Amino acid sequence: MKLFVGLGNPGAKYSGNRHNIGFMALDQIASDHGFAPWRSKFQGQLSEGKFGSTKVVLLKPETFMNRSGQSVGEAMRFFKLETADVVVFHDELDLAPGKCRVKTGGGHAGHNGLRSIHSHIGADYQRVRLGIGHPGHKDRVSGYVLSDFAKAEAGWLDDLLRGIGDGAPELAAGDAGKFMNAVSLRTAPPRSSGGGQGKPGGSKPGGGKPGAAAAKPPAPKPAPEPDPAPDTRTALQKLADKFR
């Protein structure tokens, strides 16, 4: 059994915040894989489902970010889970927007949600770090994470969340590599191996200009004429033919 925890703050006021990308990730998983409806439990919102034979519980703590560990600890005790059974999805300032990394253990790097979880269950849980970028100065961090994603960010955010939904079964099975591959197929799909630049209007094979007709092949050379037949007439016949 796995406990997937998404970090964020409860309420409509915060629902679109960068800090709530962990909630968004769990919503995507629940929607993509037909998990049970969300219900209130363990000071949070809970949804349950299965990937094959592996049961997965999704938990969105509603204690506010800086007390997330209370909800996580309560759920762990109820299900009799070990720290290694917990996977936490959270926003990451030190990753570029749209990037995703998986790690186990380590420090909380000042993240209030992780700090709280550390204090309740220890540090040896798995984290899915979801890049939101950095505002450029530490004094701007609080306002940045508590502001909504811009409309211009909708594209990469949707790709990232869909990739997480695609890879969730692999993550539950303990294969972080396959999970990351699934995310990458959404966020950085392989380029086409076709000719030219792979884009409409690109140059065509052979170096021609866009839209130009393909060069015609050279005309075939005419076949050589056959040698004339040998003249078998006698001298008298040749003289007679001149006067005809």
- Which of 19, 90, 108, 118 is the catalytic position? 19
The verdict on whether 108 is a catalytic residue reads no
Contact 138, 160 (CB under 8 A): no
- Spatial neighbors of 228 by CB under 8 A, at least 6 apart, are none
The C-alpha atoms of residue 234 and residue 78 are separated, in whole angstroms, by 123
Return the amino acid letter for 141.
Answer: V
End-to-end, the C-alpha distance of the chain in Å comes to 114
Tokens of 97: 């927007």
Q: Which residues of 178-202 are buried (b: 16+ CB within 10 A; e: fewer)?
A: ebbebbeebbeeeeeeeeeeeeeee
Most distant CA pair in the chain, distance: 129
Residue 30, number of CB atoms within 10 A of its CB:
24
Supply the residues annotated as catalytic.
Answer: 19
